[in-house]
Structure 1
Amino acid sequence: MKQIYRVPFERNSERVKQLRYDYVQRVMALEADVMGHEQVFVDEAGFNLTKTRRRGRNIIGHRAIINVPGQRGGNITMCAAISQNGVVHHHATLGPYNTAQIITFLDTLHDMLTNVQRPEQTRYVIIWDNVSFHRAALVRNWFTDHPLFTVLNQKYDLKLT
């Protein structure tokens, strides 16, 4: 018997294939554009500060016991922007990310990228995932107010296999 791999039934549907095609066409259009651009990948990752041992030692016949606090540690969310030149900006915050925090992150990123002296005007293409607060009206308005920044988000799973 072979191992069964779970594949979402919509992964290779015609609709998803068309979305992938549209995504590639948009990337190709950006590459062909006369105005130079720089791709900036933005992503958030959350983690918990609680670190405990998973294994321990004790005398044979006795359990390995560790005392732990009653509550978990705090949740940290790290947001980072990475371009072809490396990490452009990063920010850590307690708790989850939301629309207000991503707007603050984008404002700081805008200030950092536009203060760099460049010979020609550069468009910045922000590539990120499809988290709900990335689609918020405030975020869409931010990109409307900052014409040198455009967003390219994926609306599907990029796994092609």
Structure 2
Amino acid sequence: MTGATHGTPAVAEHVGTLDAPRSPYVRKKTTRGNYELYSWVFMRASGVVLVVLVFGHLFVNLMVGEGVKAIDFAFVGGKWSSPFWQIWDLLMLWLAMIHGTNGLRTIINDYAERDVTRGVLKGLLYLAFTIVVVLGTLVIFTFEPCPVGADPELLASFCTA
């Protein structure tokens, strides 16, 4: 190995040893892709979008109308009868789950020392992610705001009892 700019031989010739303090920096080629870079960028972008989604959700649910005391089955039924709010809540669910799963994946990679432990923890994490995303998506899109046989006082105003 020779120095990149001065043509002088570097002190370290074997893996695991250090180059001389004044030797020029030579970037080593890695075989890994840019997954971690894209993951880092995603975390920043999804964090910003999540702030907008969550504060929009809180504003509509807590500030508009009668506030928190109005949140009941009819309120949710009224919201989820609109495709706009279904997509809003779906985006919030998916982004929050992907954002959180990616963060926990990073923590597992940083702190789980054994490969087996890391694999088991990440497997459980991905299983929990899949269950929550699938069930949450099903709930959002199969929610029936006007169930048959329900108490008319609990239903949204647009339901015919």
Q: Taking CA–CA contacts closer than 8 Å with sequence separation of 6 or more, which of the two structures ends up with the larger relative contact order? A: 1
- Higher helix fraction (1 or 2): 2
- Higher strand fraction (1 or 2): 1
Give the structure-1-normalised TM-score. 0.22
* Greater radius of gyration (CA): 2
